[in-house]
Amino acid sequence: MINIVLFGKPGAGKGTQAEFLKGKYNLTHLSTGDIFRFNIKNETELGKLAKTYMDNGDLVPDEVTIKMLQSEVDKNQDSAGFLFDGFPRTIAQAQALDAFLATKNEKITATIALEADDEILVARLLERGKTSGRVDDQDEEKIRNRYQEYNEKTAPLMEYYTGQNKFYPVNGIGSIADITERLSTVIETL
């Protein structure tokens, strides 16, 4: 089983590239954003709680995120592997994910980070916000708040996974095909 964490700031292209990776490597794509939106749309208790944080551009607390994610993993027990998109975002979440996977005799195989300049990403998200209907993609101040949260809470994950020899940075700027090729090169070496 292969378990990959797809890492990167909002707008880095995780969702776009996840579509490629799940098909080519037969992985179950678990996007915390999609999981949150499903729970919000269906007005689950966890969804309502997550929405209050997302609307302010803040990260959803660990306990809410972890409960949603564990439920999705449990629904896909026959999967060939998982592609975690948008999770973990903190060291505490990474440790919780490691502990959860260990209960299933699994572990993270690799963490691949799509790297891109903030200004390019802000422009991408503002453009996406014109059609996505996502409140958190329509306000530059909220977007920059998400990046500040990312830098403070998520960036330390690079060290966490580097210490385990599982961190692979990939240039996230260029055509979709170019980025996909870079990702494939990394995955083929795992």
41 is catalytic: no
> In the predicted model, what is the mean pLDDT of residues 49-77?
86
pLDDT bucket at 34, cuts 50 / 70 / 90: confident
pLDDT for residue 179: 95
128 is catalytic: yes
Reading the block at residue 107, the tokens are: 């572990």
> In the predicted model, what is the mean pLDDT of residues 160-164?
95
Instruction: Name the average pLDDT for the chain.
Output: 90
pLDDT tops 80 at residue 59: no
Q: Considering 22, 89, 142, 182, which one is annotated as catalytic?
A: 89
Binding residues for AMP: 32, 37, 58-60, 86-89, 93, 134, 146
Q: What is the pLDDT of residues 100-130, one digit of tens each?
A: 999 999 999 999 999 999 999 999 899 888 9
134 is catalytic: yes
pLDDT bucket at 37, cuts 50 / 70 / 90: confident
**Domain boundaries along the sequence of the chain:** 2-181
Does domain 2-181 fall under CATH 3.40.50.300? My reply is yes
